[in-house]
Amino acid sequence: MDVAPYAVVVPLIAAGLMTGFATRLNRAIAEVVALGAAVFVVVVCAILLARVASGTQVYWFGGWEPRAGLAIGVSFTVDAFGAGLATLCAVLMVAALVLMSRYRDTDAPHFQTLMLLFLAGMVGFCLSGDLFNMFVFFELMSVAAFALAGYKIDEDEAVEGSLNFAVTNTIGSFLILTGIALVYGRTGALNLAQIAGALSHGPHDGLVIVAFCLLAAGFFVKAAVVPFHFWLADAYAVAPTPVCLLFAGAMSELGIYAVGRIWFGGFADALAAHADGLRAVLIGAGCLTALLGAVMCALQDHVKRLLAFATIAYVGVFLIGLGLLTSDGIAGAAIYIVADGLGKAALFAAAGIVQHRRRSVSLRRLRTFGPGLPYTAIVWVIGALSFAALPPFGTFFAKSLLEDGLSKEGYGWAIAVLIVTSALTTGATLRAGGAIFLGWGRGGPPPASEEESAPEEEGPPARVPAVMLIPAGLLALGALAVGLVPALVEAFEGAAAQFVDGASHAAVVLRGADAPPIEPASPYSAPLSAYLYSAVTLVGSLAVAAIGLFGAEVRGPAVARLRSGMRAAVQPLRVVHSGHVGDYVAWLVAGVALLGASFAIALQ
C-alpha cells in the first residue's frame, strides 16, 4: 500500500476539521488531535524510511503514471534523505507540541492548526518529486511559519520580526517561481527526473544557469545563507520557543536539501562540466555563512538570538558539505543535519525551560539568579558539546566526513573554518550556560527591551514540569545517540550515493525501473586527524567561553586596546543587522546579483 500521501493528507484534514469546529473545541481536545496527527505522521514517515532502504519509492497522484518517459502526473519521489528529513520534521513537531502544552495559549485551536499546516508543508516538500509541487508545499510551510513567528502579536518584536521574515521569504519564493518558469520554458517539464532528461539534450547556455541561480537564491533565502540570512535571527528571536525547535531543527535545513535535490535530480548532468566552479561558489558561501553566524553568535546577549545565529553558522557548515558535490560530502552534511538538528532542538527546549522559570532570555539578567536548574543545565551542556563535534556525538562523524572530503577536493583550508565555527558556537553556548545555570560572569543592567520579552507560558514557576524536561532530555539524548548507532556512517554514505545518482533516479521515476536498494558503503572509521581536530575545537571553545565569562576581569592597557579594537571590528556587523526590512531586501537583491555574478564567472 502506498502510505506516502497520508503523511500530508492527515495533518491537512486534521487542521481543516479543527478550523471548522474551532468554536466548539477546547484546548485539551485541540492538543490531543494535533499530537495524534503528528504522531501519525512520525509513524508514516518511519514506514517510508524503512521502505526506501530497498530503493526509491515513487507515488503518482491519481494514478497518472508516466507514458513513454513523459511525466503527465505529479509524483511523490521518496528517497532516503527525503524520508529521513520528513521523519526529523515530524519528530521535532511532536516534541514541540508536547512542550507547547505548558505554554499560555488562549487561542486554541488556531495554534495547533498552524502547526499542523506547517508540518504538512514541510513533509510534502521533502517528499515531492516535482518542482512546482515543491514550490506549493514550500509556500504552505512558509505561510504557516510567518503566522507562527508572529504569533505573539501583542509584542513589538514579534510584529516586526514576522514582517521581516514574511517579506524577505516571499521575495525568495518569487525568485524560485521565476526559476521554475524559466526551467519549464526550456524543458516543458516540471518533474525533476524529466527536467534532467530534457536539460541534458538541450543547449547548456545562460538560461539554464540563470534558472539554477534563481532557484538556488530562493532556497538560500529560506536556508539563511549570507547575505540572505538577516530575517532569521529576527524571526527566531520572536517566535514562541517550541516553534523555534522546528525552525532551527528542520526548516533552515530544508533550503539546503532543496538545492541538493534540484542539483542532483535535475541539473547535475546538464551542467556537469561546471561542477568545479559551482563547488567553489558553494563552499565559499558556506564558509562566509559559517564564520559570520559563529561571530554573531558569540556576540549575543539574548539567548534565542544566540541560538539563531548558531543555526546560521551550521547552515553554512551544511552548505560546505553540499558544496563538495560528492556523496561523502552529502553524507557528512546529512548526518550533521540530523545530529545537529536534534542538538539545536534540545538547546531551544532548554531555553524554553529557562524562560519558563526565569521569565527572561537576557544573559545579563539571567546571570543575577545565581546557580540553579541542574537538569536543564545538563541538557544545555549536551547540546553545546554536540556543537563541538566531540566523539561520540553524531556531529563528530559528520565533521570527520566533511574534513576528509575537503582535503580530498583541495579545500583543506576550509577545515579551519569548520573548527573556528564549532569553537565559537560551542564557546558562546557554554558561556551562556555558565551565566544561566551557575551565575558566572559579570552582571550588568538588563536591556531596556526586557519587559517585552516577558512570559509566554502559564503557571507559577514552581519547578520544572516533567513535560518540558523529558522532551528536552530525549532530544539531547537523541543528538548523542545518533553517533552511537552502529553502521550509521556507512548507511548514510549508501543513501548519499543514491541521492547523487541522477540517472538511476530518472530511470526509476520515468521508466518504472526497479529501484536499486541502498548498498551500505565499506566500513568507515574516523582518521586520527579527526580526533586531533576535535581536541583543538574543545580547547578553543573552552577558551572562548572563559573569555566571554571572565574576560572582563582582566585589566591592563594592552587588553583594553585589544578589547576596543575587537569592538570596533564587530561594530559594523551589528550595524548591518538593522532590523529594517528595506535593508534586508537590499541585501537580498545584492546577494542575488553576487550569486549570479559568481555563477557567471565560475560556470562559464
Partner 1 sequence: MSFLPYAVAAWLMVVGLYGIVTSRNLVHLIVCLTVVQSSTYVLLLAIGYRSGGTAPIFADIPTSRRVVDPIVATLTLTDVVVEATVAALLLVLAVQAHRRFGTLDPNEMGALRG
Query: Which residue ranges make up the site for partner 1 (CB under 8 A)?
Result: 132, 136, 139-140, 142-143, 146-147, 150, 153-157, 159-164, 166-167, 170-171, 174, 177-178, 180-182, 184-185, 190, 234, 237-238, 299, 449, 452, 573-575, 577-583, 585-586, 589
Supply the minimum distance, in Å, between the C-beta of residue 452 and partner 1: 7
**Smallest distance from partner 1 to CB 17, Å:** 20
Q: Return the C-alpha cell found at 504.
A: 538511476
| Burial of 39 per CB tally in 10 Å (0-12, 13-18, 19+) | middle
Closest C-alpha to 151, from 234, 240, 222: 240
Cβ-based nearer residue to partner 1, 180 or 281: 180
In terms of CB distance, is 539 or 589 closer to partner 1? 589
Smallest separation, CB 6 to partner 1 (Å): 23
Closest approach, Cβ 186 to partner 1, in A, equals: 9
DSSP one-letter string for 128-150: B-BHHHHHHHHHHHHHHHHHHHT
- Beta carbon of residue 8, minimum distance to partner 1 (angstroms, whole number): 16
- Nearer to partner 1 by Cβ, of 150 and 502: the residue is 150
Q: Cβ of residue 435: shortest distance to partner 1, in angstroms?
A: 19
Closest contact distance (angstroms) between CB of 155 and partner 1 is 8
Buried b (16+ CB within 10 A) or exposed e, 137-168: bbbbbbbbbbbbbbbbeebebbebbbbbbbbb
CB of 226 to partner 1, least distance (A): 16
Nearer to partner 1, 174 or 375 (CB): 174
**DSSP string covering 149-189, please?**
HT-STTSHHHHHHHHHHHHHHHHHHHHHHHHHHHHHHHHS-
> 185 vs 517, which CB is nearer to partner 1?
185
Q: Which residues contact 425 (CB under 8 A, 6 or more apart)?
A: 293, 294, 297, 298, 310, 313, 314, 387, 541
Nearer to partner 1, 77 or 191 (CB): 191
Distance (Å, whole) CA 165 – CA 161? 6
Tell me how far apart the terminal alpha carbons of the chain are, to the nearest angstrom: 47
What would the DSSP string read from start to end of 315-354? Answer: HHHHHHHHHT-SHHHHHHHHHHHHHHHHHHHHHHHHHHHH
Identify whether the C-beta of residue 479 lies closer than 8 Å to the C-beta of residue 339.
yes
Minimum CB separation of residue 64 from partner 1 in Å reads 14
274 secondary structure, DSSP code: G
SS3 state of residue 509:
helix
Task: Give whichever of 83 and 237 is closer to partner 1, judged by the CB atom.
Answer: 237
Q: Which is nearer to partner 1, 174 or 413 (CB)?
A: 174
Identity of the residue, 223 or 581, whose beta carbon is nearer to partner 1 in the bound complex: 581
Measured CA to CA, the distance from residue 590 to residue 176 in angstroms comes to: 16
